[in-house]
Amino acid sequence: MVSKAERLRMEYDVNGVSRERILEEVSLESQEIAERLVTEANQLADAELLARYKWAQQFRMFDEQRGKYGHLSFDQVARILFSLGQNPRAYLSVAIYVNDDMFADIVEFNKRESALGWRITWNHLEILARFGDPESRRALLNRCMEEKLNVEQLRGIASEMTKSIRS
């Protein structure tokens, strides 16, 4: 028999699945604490997304201005990102393909009450950044927002789109 806590842990997906499901199963006595935890988790996710986006922009700056910062600076920052468990190529792709307007739309979407705890995360951005075509990228983002796709769903759709583009 799986306990309620274990079931919630199994259902919880940090890659964008709505936390509202968890709130529904929490007893009334715990509702206030649970709502605060969800709010704080959303704030952390939003802060992480913003920080990583800024890192991506700075990483791109080092790439584009190697003459100004030294040719080794880009490699050093890449090593730092790698040592933090990050994929430097993903940061560069996000910086190139997720422009400030698109990022502002994502931040605004994440702030709206209609998101109901569901978030577009850094992992979503990494997948969106794989598309060089701005129209495909925007269409995929819009679908992600409308259908509240988790990362695995988005990855599957992106994979299918890539296959159809290659055909």
Listed residue (54, 53, 34, 52) closest to 42, CA to CA: 34
Digit-coded pLDDT (tens) for 36-56 = 888 888 889 899 999 999 999
Which pLDDT belongs to residue 7? 54
Predicted TM-score of the model (pTM): 0.77
Q: Let me know: does 14 contact 42? Beta carbons within 8 Å.
A: no
The fraction of the chain above a pLDDT of 70, given in percent, is 78
Q: Which residue has the higher pLDDT, 61 or 39?
A: 61
- How many C-beta neighbours within 10 Å does residue 22 have? 18
Angle among Cα 94, 97, 100 to the nearest 5 degrees reads 85
Identify the pLDDT of residue 64.
94
Alpha helices in the chain (DSSP H): 4-11, 20-25, 31-64, 66-69, 71-83, 88-97, 100-111, 122-128, 134-147, 151-166
Nearest to 85 by CA among 45, 46, 123, 119: 123
Domain-wise residue ranges, the chain: 16-166
